[in-house]
Each structure stands twice: as C-alpha cells, then as structure tokens.
Chain A
Amino acid sequence: RKEVEQDPGPFNVPEGATVAFNCTYSNSASQSFFWYRQDCRKEPKLLMSVYSSGNEDGRFTAQLNRASQYISLLIRDSKLSDSATYLCVVLSYNFNKFYFGSGTKLNVKP
C-alpha cells in the first residue's frame, strides 16, 4: 500500500471555480503534512503546511483530519496561474523521511 494516495485528476475547471483535492496517508504516526505545487518540468515548491486546526492562505485552505488520516486542499476563485500539479506530502514520525503522493493535476481554463 502506498504511503500517500491522491486522485491524479486531471481536474479541468473554469476560471473562478472552487476546486478541492483530497489525499490519504497510511501511517498514523506521521508528524507533519504539506501541499507542494509543481509546475511542468520544474521543481516542487511549498504551497502550504497543513495543521490540525486547519489553515488558510488567501484563496487556499488546507485541512487535516488525523482520525481519518485525510488531508484536503481547497482553492477558491481559481486563476489561470493555478494550473499545476499539487503534491500531497507527509513527513514521517521520526522527522527524517518525506512521502509524496503522485500528484493531482489542475487545469484552469478561461
């Protein structure tokens, strides 16, 4: 079983739409959780960390449900520039290893 699982998409949405991505992780002892963004043929970059209380950064909201081992990312008012692959990332219990989901591709269309 994979450590982190994501729906690969693609999600094709019009500008201005709200879109949600989900991710599940298998190790209940995992410590930290993140969403990274990866543009085509570029390196991943941190979008936001995910906290148990939920956190928001502008149009982006991340949620963590430890009981269900589930992480979500909500993007409101999608922009063309949001088109990218979104990677769900989990840090192991000993803070040493990161586990990546295979990514969810988002295409925002005019």
Chain B
Amino acid sequence: NAGVTQTPKFQVLKTGQSMTLQCAQDMNHNSMYWYRQDPGMGLRLIYYSASEGTTDKGEVPNGYNVSRLNKREFSLRLESAAPSQTSVYFCASKDSSSYNEQFFGPGTRLTVL
C-alpha cells in the first residue's frame, strides 16, 4: 500500500497563476483533508470531505477550491495564486474505525512569487 500520495512535491508559481494539487489514498478511507502549515502556526484545515460526494470548508478556505473526484482522490485548486498562499500543503485521510487515526501524505511545498 502506498498510503497517501501527493503530487507535486515542490512547485513555484507566479502571482495570479493557477494550479491543482493532487492527493490519492489507497486505504479505502471515507474522510479526506487538506491542510496548510506555516511556520509557528501548526496545521490549519482548508477543506475536508467526510465522504465521497461531500466537501466542507475548514478554518482557512478562502482562495481555494476542492474536488472529491471519487473515494480515492481529493484535489485542491488555487485559482489565482497569491504570495500569502506560500506554504506547505498536506493531504490526509482518516481511518473510519474507533481509532480515528489520520494518515498524511508527504506534503507539497508551494512558493508563490
């Protein structure tokens, strides 16, 4: 099992460009999440999907859109990138058992110039 995979690992954008971050999990988890991590601020939830076909806003959704393409895949789109979106982006999925463990992808390091 690959677990949670993310592409790309690194990306540099210019202000105003758009891009999509891809995430896939092979653990048959219902719930998937997108976070951003900035220095000294911990992880902040951007969007989440509790199950296939549903998505909900997290703490910091402005400037982002998401698509839960199927049970495996959850993508994050930046329509018009801004320097404030420079961050490390993590995708995660959640175990549906009573343990509720989250599994994270390796992250995407995004720089917006």
Q: Which residues of chain A come closer than 8 Å to B41, judged between CB atoms? A: 102
Interface size for chain B: under 10, 10 to 19, 20 to 34, or 35 or more residues? Answer: 20 to 34
Residue A46 at the chain B interface, CB threshold 8 Å: yes
Q: Is there contact, CB below 8 Å, between B58 and A97?
A: yes
Whether A101 touches B42, Cβ cut-off 8 Å, given contacts A96-B31, A96-B50, A96-B56, is yes
Q: How distant is the Cα of A6 from the Cα of B100 in the complex, in angstroms? A: 22
Chain A 91-109 residues near chain B, CB threshold 8 A: 91, 95-103
The segment from A37-45, A57-65, A67-75 that touches chain B is A37-45
Q: Is there contact, CB below 8 Å, between B45 and A98?
A: yes
Given contacts A42-B107, A89-B102, 16 further A-B contacts (CB under 8 A): A43-B90, A43-B105, A44-B102, A45-B104, A46-B101, A49-B100, A49-B101, A87-B42, A87-B43, A96-B56, A97-B48, A98-B102, A100-B42, A100-B43, A101-B42, A102-B41
Cross-chain pairs A/B with CB under 8 angstroms, 11 sampled: A43-B105, A43-B106, A46-B102, A49-B100, A87-B42, A96-B48, A96-B56, A97-B45, A98-B33, A102-B42, A103-B42
